[in-house]
Structure 1
Amino acid sequence: MDLKQLKAFLTVADTGNVTKAAEMLHLVQPAVSRQLRLLEEDLGQILFERERHGMALTEAGKSLVGYARRVMLELDRARTEMTGRTGNITGLVTIGLLPSTIDVLASSVVSTIAARYPGIRLRIAMGYAGTLLSWLDNGEIDAGLLYGVERSVNVESRPLIEEALWVIGQADAGLRPNRPTPLAKLSRHPLVLPSPSHGIRTIVDHACAKNKVQLNISVEVNALSVQRSLVHGGHGWTILPPIAVAEDLRSGQLTGSPLSKPNLARTIVLALPTNRETPPYVRHAISTLEECTKQAVMSGAWPQARWLGK
């Protein structure tokens, strides 16, 4: 097994096609096929099913993908750090952000780090809390903002933000920021909600069980963009922090109201790994992320949020 084989394997896994992979790697197709064959012979496993419309990973191939990505990521980190200029802060940092927070934070974090630490290469990965926790645990990200409900022995966290959860509906739903909506009222309306494994759904389900409220869930989705689109399309109300649809609320395309009886909120935490050392360049990037997050809250760019950090 060598790096050329792993790179070819990952590129074919991502594209699902040897020809496309060869183009991306600037190789001829037989060279890519040979790398795959050598890797399969070395491992004694078939990694791809050669199908009519492309290449599909076998179970063995799916298992190898995670390991291969981590190997390539660690080598990339090492290469960036080793080629940095002496005395400068250099390194590759991968930060994980929730879909509902990425728009308000990504630009400011990227521009601030670029201005302060030009030797840092920054990657931003978006995922839901469970995915971010898994990535943090296995080393695919260096730090992340996720829900405080998540727990792991390999992760330490500190609270940064508490934000209220709102009911969100179409423009004609009559929801108003100054008129809270009781949780019990939601039983009268179809709802578009994330699946039960999602952090917000866990908060909502717990509150409903405690208050004996039965929700009318019309559809479950695991993508914020789809959740928002379905609400726009009139398929039901949803429950989100206002930051997730801030522009729609400002423009009046959607309306919102704080949940009440009980009031519901989520806590955003800064999560860091405990199972590996945090290099200085990562600590600088994390400090910048925390600073940009605080600034977003204090400036009002992060609506209905309360700063909990120092």
Structure 2
Amino acid sequence: MRLDPDYLVTFSVVAEYGNISRAAEALRLSQPAVSGQLKALQDVVGERLYTRTAYGITLTEAGQDLLGYARVIATTLSGAAEHLRTRQARTRPLRLGLSWTLSGQAVSLVSGAHEAGHEVRVTSGHSTSLMEAVASGASDAALIVQPPGPLPAGLEGHRFSAEDLCLLVPAGHPLEDRGSTPLLAAAQEVFLWPMVGSTVARHAERLLNEATVLPAVQFELGSLTAVREAVGRGLGVTILPPSVARLEIEAGQVSPVLIEALNVTVSYVVVVPSDVVVRPEARRLLDLVLRSRRSTRL
């Protein structure tokens, strides 16, 4: 005797509802299909499992005996299906875009996700390209420097943290002891740019323009690492969030000087698709990133 597990599942649902038509709706099957499965199960068992009444069905003694086993099979199959769905959802790594400015968050984000049972793969880039990746589905979410103006259509931002831009100067620089300064005082300095066109660079350009300052000498070094090293060696100054140069500041190689201007604060946001509710990977990654704020040093 071979019992079809699908028939046992159907039988358990019919017994639960006591009505074939309602059970068919719950199983998303036609009523004839449910009746056919019940008949096939009875044929295999060799006994009547239920009798029809004016209000539905009533299980026979044989049906009552079989029901306990049918429920175990139904529960086991349902649990196995849920386990596989969860496993498959976690099989694909969660894809996070991370702004170059926030690259220092990568270790805590990835390790925190791992402790929670998730694998996160990080792609670094400019905030603009990272938003495009989220919009196209290439990334599930992105932690970026919020650009000026609204986010592109189809995306929404969730606040992560914020930080004031500072003028980073070499240790021993004349501006170091002032604590704060208008940008006009840096007009004759060698100004170092990380990546022209990046969101942080655009904020720095805005501040310089608002202060009507055009640095006498400007070098584009192409990366935050190169700028930090150059400032630490006394080759020039730059406008960046101090967290970018935390190690150099703690080592006494670089000093942050507050900028005397309006709108010096930059916001860091987690960008996800606007329909994040129906995107489990994006929703899961958003939750992981926002929870990581407890350990951030921004």
Query: Shorter-chain-normalised TM-score: which range?
Result: 0.5 to 0.7
- Counterparts of 1:1-310 in structure 2 under 5 Å? 85-88=84-87, 90=90, 91-103=92-104, 105-116=105-116, 118=117, 120-149=118-147, 151-176=151-176, 179-262=179-262, 264-274=264-274, 278-296=278-296, 301-302=297-298
CA distance in 2, matches of 1:217, 1:275: 46
Q: Residue 208 and residue 107 in structure 1: after superposition, are their counterparts in 2 closer, same or farther (change >3 A)? A: closer
CA distance in 1, matches of 2:278, 2:222: 31
Instruction: Give the letter aligned to residue 267 of structure 2.
Output: T
Runs of 4+ in 1 over 3 A off after TM superposition: 84-89, 174-178, 274-278
What is the aligned-residue RMSD (CA, Å)?
2.7
Q: What per-residue deviation string (whole Å, max 9, x for no partner) do you get for residues 205-232 of structure 1?
A: 2233333222234212331112222223
Instruction: Give the letter aligned to residue 121 of structure 2.
Output: R
Instruction: Give the letter aligned to residue 114 of structure 1.
Output: H
Q: What per-residue deviation string (whole Å, max 9, x for no partner) do you get for residues 63-113 of structure 1?
A: xxxxxxxxxxxxxxxxxxx9x74545513211111223222x222222222
CA distance in 1, matches of 2:127, 2:232: 25
CA distance in 2, matches of 1:239, 1:114: 34
Q: What per-residue deviation string (whole Å, max 9, x for no partner) do you get for residues 133-157 of structure 1?
A: 2222222211011122253113211
Question: Alignment partner of 2:250: what SS?
Answer: helix
Q: Residue 235 and residue 108 in structure 1: after superposition, are their counterparts in 2 closer, same or farther (change >3 A)? A: same
CA contact (8 A) 1:168 1:175 kept: no
Question: Alignment partner of 1:101: what SS?
Answer: helix
Question: Alignment partner of 1:173: what SS?
Answer: coil
Q: Residue 190 and residue 139 in structure 1: after superposition, are their counterparts in 2 closer, same or farther (change >3 A)? A: same
CA distance in 2, matches of 1:87, 1:98: 29
Q: What per-residue deviation string (whole Å, max 9, x for no partner) do you get for residues 145-173 of structure 1?
A: 11222531132113332210111122222
CA distance in 2, matches of 1:233, 1:277: 48
CA distance in 1, matches of 2:137, 2:188: 44
Q: CA deviation at 1:278?
A: 4.9
Listed as ranges, the gaps of 5+ residues in structure 2 are 1-80
CA distance in 2, matches of 1:184, 1:174: 14
CA contact (8 A) 1:182 1:262 kept: no
Instruction: Give the letter aligned to residue 189 of structure 2.
Output: H
CA distance in 2, matches of 1:292, 1:258: 27
Q: What per-residue deviation string (whole Å, max 9, x for no partner) do you get for residues 218-271 of structure 1?
A: 212331112222223433111110110101101102122111134612111111
Instruction: Give the letter aligned to residue 146 of structure 1.
Output: I
Q: Residue 114 and residue 171 in structure 1: after superposition, are their counterparts in 2 closer, same or farther (change >3 A)? A: same
CA contact (8 A) 2:95 2:139 kept: yes
Question: Alignment partner of 1:100: what SS?
Answer: helix
CA distance in 2, matches of 1:156, 1:280: 16
Q: CA deviation at 1:287?
A: 0.6
Q: Residue 100 and residue 280 in structure 1: after superposition, are their counterparts in 2 closer, same or farther (change >3 A)? A: same
CA contact (8 A) 1:177 1:256 kept: no
Question: Alignment partner of 2:101: what SS?
Answer: coil
Task: Calculate the TM-score normalised by the size of structure 1.
Answer: 0.61
CA distance in 2, matches of 1:265, 1:190: 23
Aligned length: 214
Q: Give the number of the structure whose alpha-carbon radius of gyration is greater.
A: 2
Q: CA deviation at 1:295?
A: 3.3
CA distance in 2, matches of 1:263, 1:280: 36
CA contact (8 A) 2:195 2:223 kept: no
